[in-house]
């Protein structure tokens, strides 16, 4: 999912946000049903066996990339168990969390180790109503107000946005780095034109590390180009 990630760890899986573009739900429900973890599809679950995992040293670990650890449906005890477990791993490892419900980060501020990065996905500043997750503005406000030094934002899959507002959100959050990329799975999202996305990258690069992923023309731009040929 992210080029910088060298390991994934899924002690908690599943999500109830039902985002239209979710690759993880599709993977769990269509291709991984033969595995114990996904026999119930994307139903949230805690996996005790995951706590026996050995990660080694110097890893950049994405925690629960196949779910949302901080979803409002996740019991606090599950989250506390995961955070306490991280402390037993070698401190050279870096752990990244990504949620669409960042307001819950505040409940566990006393438990985050110094090698944790807290993040959220904010695809746009607009409300396109394509999931049950908290609205983009709620996610922005929750991460902006979070009193924690290491934060990140995923602008993926990027959707059309208002430049001044969206760029100001990112600056106010003050992320350590940002991942930005277009949809990879043909969901026909309300994408911005490529030129606009490149302008955003240029603006964000002035105050944070922008790590690009799939950068291309919007699907509708390609369709228009094909029509003209």
pLDDT, tens digit, for every residue of 23-35? Answer: 999 999 998 988 8
Q: Residues 100, 134: contact at Cβ < 8 Å?
A: yes
- Residue 12, pLDDT score: 97
> Which residues does 113 contact at the CB level (< 8 Å), separation at least 6?
83, 86, 87, 91, 95
Residue 12 placed within a domain: yes
- Which CATH number belongs to the domain containing residue 198 in this structure? 3.20.20.70
Helical segments of 68-215, H only: 76-86, 136-144, 163-173, 194-204
Computed from CA positions of residues 169, 74, 13, 128, in that sequence, does the dihedral angle turn out positive or negative? negative
For 223, half-sphere exposure in the C-beta direction (CA atoms, 13 angstrom radius) is 7
Residue 195 placed within a domain: yes
* Nearest C-alpha neighbor of 55 from the set 13, 1, 10: 10
Pairwise CA distance, residues 68 & 138, whole Å: 16
The rounded mean pLDDT for the chain is 94
Domain count, the chain: 1
Residue 121 in tokens: 């996905």
Computed from CA positions of residues 52, 53, 58, 64, in that sequence, does the dihedral angle turn out positive or negative? negative
- Residue 88, pLDDT score: 84
* Nearest C-alpha neighbor of 146 from the set 187, 115, 182, 117: 117
- Residue 36, pLDDT score: 87
* Nearest C-alpha neighbor of 9 from the set 116, 148, 131: 116
* Nearest C-alpha neighbor of 1 from the set 91, 64, 69: 64
Share of the chain above pLDDT 90, in %: 86
pLDDT for residue 47 is more than 70: yes
Residue 142 placed within a domain: yes
- Residue 229, pLDDT score: 56
* Nearest C-alpha neighbor of 117 from the set 80, 90, 154: 154
Indicate the pLDDT class of residue 1, thresholds 50, 70 and 90: low
> Which residues does 146 contact at the CB level (< 8 Å), separation at least 6?
102, 105, 106, 118
Residue 2 placed within a domain: no
Domain residues for 43? 7-228
Residue 28 placed within a domain: yes
More confidently predicted of 66 and 229:
66
Q: Residues 120, 100: contact at Cβ < 8 Å?
A: yes
Residue 1 placed within a domain: no
Question: Once rounded to an integer, what is the mean pLDDT over residues 93-106?
Answer: 97
Residue 53 placed within a domain: yes
pLDDT for residue 227 is more than 70: no
Indicate the pLDDT class of residue 198, thresholds 50, 70 and 90: very high
């Amino acid at each position: 999912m992210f080029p910088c990630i060298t390991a994934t760890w899924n002690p908690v899986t599943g999500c109830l946000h039902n985002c239209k573009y979710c690759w993880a739900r599709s993977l769990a429900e269509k291709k991984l049903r033969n595995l114990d973890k996904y026999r119930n599809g994307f139903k949230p679950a805690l996996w005790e066996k995951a706590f026996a995992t050995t990660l080694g040293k110097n890893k950049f670990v994405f925690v629960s990339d196949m779910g949302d650890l901080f979803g409002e449906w996740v019991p606090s005890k599950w989250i506390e168990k995961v955070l306490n477990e991280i402390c037993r791993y070698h401190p050279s490892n870096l752990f990244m969390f990504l949620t669409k419900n960042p307001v819950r980060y505040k409940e566990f501020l006393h438990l985050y180790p110094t090698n944790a990065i807290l993040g959220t996905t904010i695809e746009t500043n607009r409300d396109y109503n394509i999931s049950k997750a908290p609205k983009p503005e709620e996610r922005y406000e929750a991460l902006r107000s979070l009193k924690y030094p290491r934060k990140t934002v995923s602008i993926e899959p990027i959707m059309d946005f208002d430049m001044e507002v969206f760029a100001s959100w990112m600056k106010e959050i003050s992320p350590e780095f940002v991942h930005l990329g277009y949809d990879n799975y043909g969901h026909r999202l309300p994408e911005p034109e490529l030129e606009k996305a490149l302008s955003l990258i240029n603006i964000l690069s002035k105050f944070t590390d922008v790590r690009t992923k799939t950068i291309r023309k919007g699907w509708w731009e390609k369709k228009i180009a094909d029509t003209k040929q």
